[in-house]
Amino acid sequence: MIGKKNILIGIMMLSIFIVPMTVSTASATDWPMFQENLNHTAYMDEASDFNPDTWLFQTSGLLTSAAITDKLIYFGSSSGLFSALNLEDGTKVWDYKAGGNITNAPIVVGDNVYFGSGDSYLYALNKKTGDDVWKYKTGNAIETTPAIDNGIIYFGSDDQRLYALNTNDSTKKWEFQTGNAVRSSPTVYNDTVYFGSDDGKIYALGIANGTQTWAYDTGSAVRSSPAINNTTLYMGTDNGNFYALNTADGSVLWNYNLNDSVKSSALLDPNDNALFIGSDNGNVTALDMRDGKLKWSVNTGNVKTTPALMGDNIVVTSETGTVYVLNKYSGKEEWSYTPGYYLFNSPLTSPIVYGDDIFVGDNNGNMYAIDFSRKTGPVSNYLYYVIAIVVVIVGGLLAVRTLRRRRKGKE
């Protein structure tokens, strides 16, 4: 027999269980671009005491990973809407409607924020107001995050080219033709720009005029983005191989096979000679940066995003809709946060670490601010959906029970 008191208690207990789990010290200054810096390490040494409230912002479409500077967070969505929010509370400062979908993170340098769109344009907007500064049209969709060095912005396009433009007025310095779409975000290091192409090659070009220094043929599309530390480039491919290459000549230092496509880019932790990489087989893997030897590997679900470092932990997001905090030495799960409460899970963007908070978006148009030290996230609207489902189920059980009683009474 199901009593009303027991039903209410059950709903209350379930509500407590599905309230967001919550995230230890943090390291962060601004995070103005994909993987935080020009070398794409996703690693920061400097500490910050920034600790805003948890919050949830809702827009539409699949969100991109974000960029943070001057207490504002910037991100785009597949609906073409580009947003700037107050980092403290998630309130909207401005938004801008591009002519196509936005699929990769922006970069903020100087007074402007830059991003590409499916309408073939690279946009430059004033970071404070969202006003147009300029836009540059390529021959196809832009799916990469740009890199900026000394007033030149570098980005790839599905028209098979890598472009170098002047950030002041978008005048073209040079372009380089590859054999297929360029969906790997470029990295600039020692007067050279590095990137991958769907033609299977990893390229190194001189930034002065775009002349090819070397190209390494991996035999498979390269859609992850390079990370560089101490003259070594780290990069994965669609055939599951993860490479460490010499930045000077492209020679292979070591190679590790992850057994499935690698679209995630590597998190580098040079202090402990470790790198962390996700793959489509659902594993997050830690390798020794020096020789590629396996440290550990754990399954979290399909990982196409780039991890971020927080003290002795790494933050990982998965296609299954969960934010994981793992011990960087062992891979042990310290805690996790699932904003979709399993019933409404959605793939998540690459996490951003800023102060004591983690910022992550999902494919349902939600941007979350999660408190790392308190292990708490905002109450998602999905909580109310789940409670509503529970109420409907319990109501249905009560209705069935009542009907059975009436039938027995008639007998």
Concatenated DSSP letters of 313-337 = EEEEE-TTS-EEEEETTT--EEEEE
Question: For 27-36, 61-70, 276-285, which range has the lowest pLDDT when averaged over its residues?
Answer: 27-36
Identify which of 342, 340, 362, 338 has the alpha carbon closest to the alpha carbon of residue 350: 362
In the predicted structure, residue 20 carries a pLDDT above the cut 50: no
With tokens 């995230």, the residue in question is 23
Q: What is the pLDDT of residue 42?
A: 46
Dihedral angle computed from the Cα positions of residues 34, 304, 268 and 326, in that order, rounded to the nearest 10 degrees: 120
Q: What is the pLDDT of residue 156?
A: 98
Q: What is the pLDDT of residue 389?
A: 53
Residue 174's contacts (CB-CB under 8 Å, 6 or more residues apart) are 163, 164, 209, 210
In the predicted structure, residue 209 carries a pLDDT above the cut 80: yes
Question: For 11-20, 43-52, 74-83, 211-220, which range has the lowest pLDDT when averaged over its residues?
Answer: 11-20
Predicted confidence band at 4 (pLDDT cuts at 50, 70, 90)? very low
Answer for the pair 106, 145: CB distance below 8 angstroms, yes or no. yes
Q: What is the pLDDT of residue 302?
A: 76
Answer for the pair 351, 308: CB distance below 8 angstroms, yes or no. yes
Question: For 133-142, 154-163, 201-210, 376-385, which range has the lowest pLDDT when averaged over its residues?
Answer: 376-385
Reduced to 3 states, what is the DSSP secondary structure of residue 251?
coil
Higher-scoring residue by pLDDT: 195, 403: 195
Bridge partners of residue 166, in order along the sequence:
152
Question: For 206-215, 268-277, 332-341, which range has the lowest pLDDT when averaged over its residues?
Answer: 332-341
Q: Where are the domains of the chain?
A: 1-19+382-411, 20-378
Predicted confidence band at 175 (pLDDT cuts at 50, 70, 90)? very high
C-alpha span between 54 and 128 (Å, rounded): 23
Question: For 41-50, 79-88, 328-337, 385-394, which range has the lowest pLDDT when averaged over its residues?
Answer: 41-50
Mean pLDDT of 235-241: 95
Q: What is the pLDDT of residue 375?
A: 82
Mean pLDDT of 22-44: 47
In the predicted structure, residue 11 carries a pLDDT above the cut 80: no
- CB < 8 Å & 24+ apart, contacts of 284-293: 284/314, 284/316, 284/324, 284/326, 284/331, 285/256, 285/258, 286/328, 286/331, 287/242, 287/256, 289/229, 289/232, 289/234, 289/244, 291/254, 292/242, 292/244, 292/254, 292/255, 292/256
Average pLDDT value for the chain: 85
Sequence length of the chain is 411
Higher-scoring residue by pLDDT: 404, 165: 165
In the predicted structure, residue 60 carries a pLDDT above the cut 90: no
Q: What is the pLDDT of residue 319?
A: 82
Higher-scoring residue by pLDDT: 275, 364: 275
In the predicted structure, residue 66 carries a pLDDT above the cut 60: yes
Answer for the pair 227, 42: CB distance below 8 angstroms, yes or no. yes
Identify which of 300, 265, 332, 321 has the alpha carbon closest to the alpha carbon of residue 43: 265
In the predicted structure, residue 123 carries a pLDDT above the cut 90: yes
In the predicted structure, residue 51 carries a pLDDT above the cut 90: no
Q: What is the pLDDT of residue 28?
A: 42
Q: What is the pLDDT of residue 379?
A: 64
Q: What is the pLDDT of residue 411?
A: 61
Q: What is the pLDDT of residue 271?
A: 93
Question: For 65-69, 140-144, 271-275, which range has the lowest pLDDT when averaged over its residues?
Answer: 65-69
Predicted confidence band at 1 (pLDDT cuts at 50, 70, 90)? very low
Q: What is the pLDDT of residue 410?
A: 62
CATH 2.130.10.10 fits 20-378, yes or no: yes
C-alpha span between 32 and 16 (Å, rounded): 37
Q: What is the pLDDT of residue 391?
A: 58
Segment 256-304, tens digit of pLDDT: 999 999 988 999 999 999 999 998 888 999 999 999 999 999 998 777 7
Dihedral angle computed from the Cα positions of residues 321, 326, 332 and 333, in that order, rounded to the nearest 10 degrees: -40
Bridge partners of residue 309, in order along the sequence:
314
The whole-angstrom distance between residue 232's C-alpha and the CA centroid of its chain comes to: 23
